Structure 1
Amino acid sequence: MSSTDPFLLSTESTSDDQWVLASNNKGKLAEFKRLFAEANLNVTIVPQGQLDIEDAVEDGLSFVENAIIKARHASRISGLPAIADDSGLCVPVLGNAPGIYSARYAGEHGNDSKNNAKLIADLQPIRTANPNTPIKGMFVCVLAMVRHADDSLPIVAQGLWHGEISEAAHGDGGFGYDPLFWLPDLQASAASLSAADKNSISHRGQAIKQLLKQLA
C-alpha cells in the first residue's frame, strides 16, 4: 500500500482493498484509526465522511441490527465493502439503558455532558436506596462487516467492557460516558486511561480482535 495511514484514501487502491468505515463520530474515528493501524490489515479504511456519506437511520432495536443497517447503508452508497460499529453503555439496574440510545440519552444527539448528567440523575434514587452497592455497567461494541450491500452473511463481532458507574466524572480523556465508567481493578475511569491502554482492554478493541479472527 502506498499510504501508511489507514484513514487516508490511497490513489493506488482498488475497490478490492478499500473498505468504508460507516461512522462520522469523531471520537470513534480517532479510536478506530489507532486500532486499525495496529491490526495491519491489507486494506485502506475510508471513513464514510470522505465519500460524503451521511449517517444511516438507526431504526433497529439492538446493537447488532443497527451495526448491520449502517454497514449496508455505507456499502450501498459507496459500492465498497463496509464496516460499521454500534456501541453504547448498558446499565443493568436501568434495564440496560441507555443502550442503543446512548448517544441521544438526554434527547440531543452527541451531547456528552447532558447524557452524563442524565445518567447520574437517573441513578441517584438507586444509590440512595442502596448506598453501599456499586452500580455495574458495561460498554458494548458490535462490529458488522458486509462484503456488499446485500451480503446475506455479515461478519458480526462483539466486545463487552465491564466496570462500574461512578457518581461523578473522573479524567478528561475519551468521550461519551468514559468519565463515569470506573474500573475498580485499575482505580481509574476510562477517561483517565491513555489511548493505548484504553484500546488494549476496551469494548471496541475487543470487538476488532474478534472481527480479525473471523476475517482470518
Structure 2
Amino acid sequence: MLLAMNKLPLLFAIFLLSASAASRDFPALIPRAVLFGNPERILPQVSPDGTMLAWIAPAHAVLNIWVREIDKPAAAARAITADPKRGIRDFFWQYDSKHVIYLQDHDGDENWHLYQVPVSGSTPQVRDLTPGKLQARIIARSPDFPDHVVIALNERDARFHDAYLLDLNTVERKLVARNPGDIEYYIADKKLHVRAALARLKDGSAEIRVRDNEQSPWRRLTGWSADEV
C-alpha cells in the first residue's frame, strides 16, 4: 500500500504534463509543395564571356532553362527550353557562350542524351547531340576547346561505355578509347585527351590505368584489392 501511495505524486505530475502538451498550440505542418515541389530558381550560372545569366526555373509548372542578359532587368528573362514532362535538373554553358548543354533521358529510362540549345533567337531549337538507343555521359570539357567535349557512349555494347571526342557543331564523333569490358569511367587531360581510366576487375579489385597518349597502350599505374575497394 505504501509503495502505491508513493507513486501517486509521480503519476499526477505525468498527467499534468500530458494535459499541458495536449492543450499547447503546435505550428502548422509544412505544406508538401514546399518540401517536394519545384524550386523557384536553381543553378544560376554566368556565361563564360560574362554577358549572360542562365538558371533553371519552372515554365508551365515544369523545370526548364531560362536566360537573360546580365545588364537587362529580370522581366527580360525567357525560357529557351520547353520540356513538358520531367523537367531539366542540370546544365552547363558551352564555352562559346552561345549555347547551353544538358543531359536528359526519356520518361525516366535513364538513357541520357546530350542536348544543345542556343541562347539567342526567339524560338531556340533544341538539338540532340547523341541520337540513337544509347546512354551518354560527360567525361571532360575545356575552355581551350569550346566546340568539343569528351563523352562516353554505350552505343556499341549496352554494357560498356566507350570514350568519344564529340564536335558540338557538326555532331561528328571520334572514338578515342574502346572499352575492353572492365572500364568504369575514363579521365581526360586539359587537352581533352583520354589518358586515364578506372577498371573494375572480376575478382572485385580495381586499378587505375594510364597511357602516354591516345595511340599508346594502357598500363597499370596502381590498384586496390577487393578488401580495400
TM-score (norm 2): 0.26
TM-score (norm 1): 0.27
Q: Which structure has the bigger radius of gyration?
A: 2
Q: Which has the higher contact order (CA 8 A, sep 6+)?
A: 1
Structure with more helix by fraction = 1
